[in-house]
Chain A
């Protein structure tokens, strides 16, 4: 498993699911219900993209972006 979703997005996803379940309790085909589930999808996709961003980050690479002159980071072309 990869990194966890940042908590601000994670909270929004679970809130939106609750809201969608409530919105659909009355009328499952109403525009309100459909829009609420669409919001769930949008936030789930945002959560997945946020996880992907974290996945690509290597601690040493991050450090070297800020400190290219450090011993650990210096690279020479030839």
Chain B
């Protein structure tokens, strides 16, 4: 893709570069493309000084595929992101030389942005108004839409940074359009405009029991935290979570549900998990994974001569179902692996995995054996979804490459 300044070329593949102060709302128009960026006046004024805003665009060569990942805080979004970027190869790292508290992760193919960066109210602002970060009133969906749309169209943006340590909105960072853009956070499918841009969407649905168990594991050692404080924090956020976050799962193309195991009676440790992968039928470029026979209802206990399982064992289930009135396929795994390399036995019975070679799922899981969830269904299904996204990306790119040729012929 050629890179040149705005004045030089009108070719389809030109890339333009425009600088503008962010103090006022900037209207930036170039070629046939008109882009309007809203930059919160209040926020930039507080920053003091004029921060130059740089906008670049790459017309014609726009191929960015946008993926949305929704989940509550502390529900394994970052682990999922590390598994996903690993499928595409190369390590994901924060932008070089930028803000050390940046939430962005960049690899060769993938850029992951955290939607907390679109908070319209900082920590003090939310406290003054008495709203949580889950509340739509604390988020700037106009800016989210404008910038995600711009990135999809191949235009770089100056995205704000929400600093999770200080609770302040830091000066923006330049995000260039990647091959794959992942937007992860609380509200990727909340605003219909943003939802329509997404090529694929995932919701991580963690049941209340498991969420509580995970937060105990995460926070118990932290000074000041107790069972009561962890419980109080979950309880306080629950009404907003139920009102604004949870309903998004009906729009997701894939939902990963994490539930307490049914193999151990009255288990509440949250270590053994029952995980369901709910896959929507009829989504373009996405064909659901199945076990043994597409469309049948199957229950499978792989433990026996070929797979070593200790208590409580492993149980798979697969079958068609409906989810919010839509047809879905559900793959379920309850229990955990003792030996990760034996996962190949399970992998060999799953179909439509979109792997490039036999054993790729097992290899990906072994590569990250130290990540949380590697011995149960969370890691397995996250890896599978990662492979499905790679497949989807390759199909979209192939189709886009074919379209101009057909147009030229006609």
Please list the residues of chain A having a beta carbon within 8 angstroms of any beta carbon in chain B.
Answer: 1, 5, 8-10, 12-15, 17-18, 20-21, 24, 30-49, 52
Contact = CB atoms under 8 A, between A and B. Distances in A.
Given A31-B129, A31-B130, A35-B126, A41 B233 contact: yes
A16 B78 CA distance: 24
Contact of B219 (A20, A21, A35, A44): A44
Interface of B: 73-74, 78, 123, 126-127, 129-134, 164-165, 167, 215, 218-219, 221-225, 229, 232-233, 235-237, 239-240
Contact of A46 (B126, B134, B165, B239): B165
Given A9-B165, A33-B236, A45-B74, A38 B132 contact: yes
Given A17-B225, A44-B219, A24 B232 contact: yes
Contacts of B232: 20-21, 24, 37
Contacts, number: 99
A41 B237 contact: yes
A9 B225 CA distance: 13
B186 to A, nearest CB: 11
Contact of A40 (B130, B218, B233, B240): B233
A1 B133 contact: no
Contact of A41 (B74, B78, B126): B74
25 contacts: A8-B165, A10-B223, A13-B224, A17-B224, A17-B225, A24-B236, A31-B131, A34-B130, A34-B131, A34-B240, A37-B233, A37-B235, A37-B236, A38-B132, A38-B133, A38-B134, A40-B229, A42-B164, A43-B164, A44-B215, A44-B218, A44-B233, A46-B165, A47-B219, A47-B222
A52 B127 CA distance: 28
Contacts of B233: 20, 37-38, 40-41, 44
A40 B232 CA distance: 10
Contacts of B225: 13-14, 17, 44
List 9 tightest A-B contacts by C-beta distance, closest first. Answer: A31-B130, A14-B224, A37-B236, A38-B132, A46-B164, A37-B233, A17-B224, A34-B236, A45-B73
A38 B237 CA distance: 6
B314 to A, nearest CB: 28
Given A17-B229, A42-B167, A45-B164, A36 B127 contact: yes
Nearest to A30: B130
Contacts of B134: 38
B76 to A, nearest CB: 11
B237 A34 contact: yes
A26 B97 CA distance: 46
A20 B405 CA distance: 61
Contacts of B235: 37
Contacts of A24: 232, 236
A18 B288 CA distance: 47
